Amino acid sequence: MTRWLAALPLIALAALAVLFAAYSLHRNPQVDPQALVGKPMPALSLPALEDGRPVALAAARGQGPALVNFYASWCAPCEIEHPVLRALKADQVRILGVAYKDAPENTRAFLTRLGDPFAVRLVDRDGRAGVEFGVTGVPETYLVDARGVILAKHTGPMGPDDAQALLAQARVDKAR
């Protein structure tokens, strides 16, 4: 009887190994970073940074194309990208800022320190919107057309050339 008790952990470990192996053989391990490109933007409402009132992303987008930028105050690459976002705002590009897994007070301090490039500031405290969009890390920026379809996604901090490439895609879409 004591031998069975001694072998029980090994039997359980072998059963778990078989279970995990069977699961692994039946799933796609590839992450598709462009999964939402060509699909409608998720229909979400998020709290506004200023007062916490719910704001529908579709309404916040406005009438034309817009950028949806996921960022955080704790994100060093977001600071690198920030001057590019401010330049886009100066060029009249509508940018919706979504503070990803960040405390509102930290987000406010971040925007006060670096400047506010966003037409609308929203909070994704629990990361739910990030999951819906397929965010793999911040910063990430999505180009959304006037119909609410995601045209492109940029992962990582945008440089001036990256921003111009996104805007060029918006112009191409508008010409169609």
In whole angstroms, what is the distance from residue 68 CA to residue 44 CA? 13
Contacts of 133 (CB under 8 A, 6+ apart): 36, 41, 42, 68, 70, 140, 142
* Helices 104-114, 76-90: inter-axial angle, 10-degree rounding: 60
Cis peptide leading into 139, omega within 30 of 0?
yes
- Residues comprising the chain, all counted: 176
Range with the poorest average pLDDT among 8-17, 54-63, 65-74, 111-120: 8-17
For 7, residues 6+ apart whose C-beta sits below 8 A from its C-beta are none
CATH 3.40.30.10, applies to 45-175? yes
Q: Which two tokens stand for residue 153?
A: 């996604």
Give the model confidence (pLDDT) of 147-173 as tens digits.
999 999 999 999 999 999 998 888 776
Amino acid identity at 25: L
Within 10 angstroms of residue 75's Cβ, the number of other Cβ atoms is: 19
Residues 47-106 pLDDT 10s? 999 999 999 999 998 888 999 999 999 999 999 999 999 999 999 999 999 999 999 999
Query: Cα 104 to the chain's mean position, in Å?
Result: 17
pLDDT at 12: 81
For residue 81, the tally of other CB atoms under 10 A from its CB is 24
Task: Determine the longest span between alpha carbons in the chain, in angstroms.
Answer: 78
For residue 3, give the amino acid letter. R
